[in-house]
Amino acid sequence: MADTSPEPDLQPTQPTDVQPLLTNARARREWDWIVRQVGLERALEALRHLGNRKPYPLNVARHLRLQIPAVLAKEPEAPQKPPSIPPEVQQRLEALAQKLKRHPF
């Protein structure tokens, strides 16, 4: 009796849903920079060609022969909060605002 089980697919499988490994905010900034440099399609194509290397943005950049700027390693500075107004100045401003409401021009 002949074996009728389907033959295993001997073709190497290519992952179709390749995604970068974005483990932190820095990796996200690096991936965004790579995409801005070469476009999403080319960046994803580079991911598919990494072989056994992990899909970190740094490996993608190396494959594309890009040098990730060092500035991306640092967290962007948060906008500075304006200095607080001392209570005596705040009181004076509120008093002036009340005077202006009572005496419109």
Residues 34 and 69 sit within 8 Å (Cβ to Cβ): no
* pLDDT score at 1: 52
Binned at pLDDT 50, 70 and 90, residue 2 comes out as low
Tens of pLDDT along 14-63?
Answer: 445 789 999 999 999 999 999 999 999 999 999 999 989 999 999 999 99
Tens of pLDDT along 54-89?
Answer: 999 999 999 999 999 998 888 877 777 777 888 898
3-state secondary structure the chain: CCCCCCCCCCCCCCCCCCCCCCCCHHHHHHHHHHHHHHCHHHHHHHHHCCCCCCCCHHHHHHHCCCCCCHHHHCCCCCCCCCCCCCHHHHHHHHHHHHHHHHCCC
Residue 64's Cβ-count burial label (10 Å; 0-12, 13-18, 19+) is middle
**pTM for this model (two decimals):** 0.59
* pLDDT score at 102: 82
> Which residue ranges make up each domain of the chain?
15-75
